[in-house]
Amino acid sequence: MYSSATLRIHELTAEERAVYATLKPERLPEHVAIIMDGNGRWAGHRSLKRFLGHQQGAKSVQLVTETASRIGLPWLTLYAFSLAVTSRATCSA
């Protein structure tokens, strides 16, 4: 399934390698899709500014994409649009 030429397991952290070692390669999906939503709410629950939630979301995206690349995941889809955005009042500049 995953080409050994594309695996970069040696780049995983010790903790990530330990988790990876428990997985069965033949059972890994070829495509993972993630719906990213709630960064603003995450920040709000912690009394932080919304943009800090989005910064944390960006860090999570970086971690996920790098890890997916290291284990040779063929396809990764990230959905970053929220329907809640469409119901917000528009700002006039």
Instruction: Report which residue type is found at 53.
Output: G
Residue 29 belongs to what H/E stretch?
none
- Write down the pLDDT at residue 65: 95
Give me the torsion for CA of 16, 19, 24, 25, rounded to 10°.
Answer: 0
Average pLDDT value over all residues in the chain:
85
pLDDT in tens, 48-79: 998 899 899 999 999 999 999 999 999 999 98
- Helix, strand, or coil (residue 32): strand
Domain boundaries, the chain: 30-83
Average pLDDT over residues 8-30: 92
pTM: 0.73
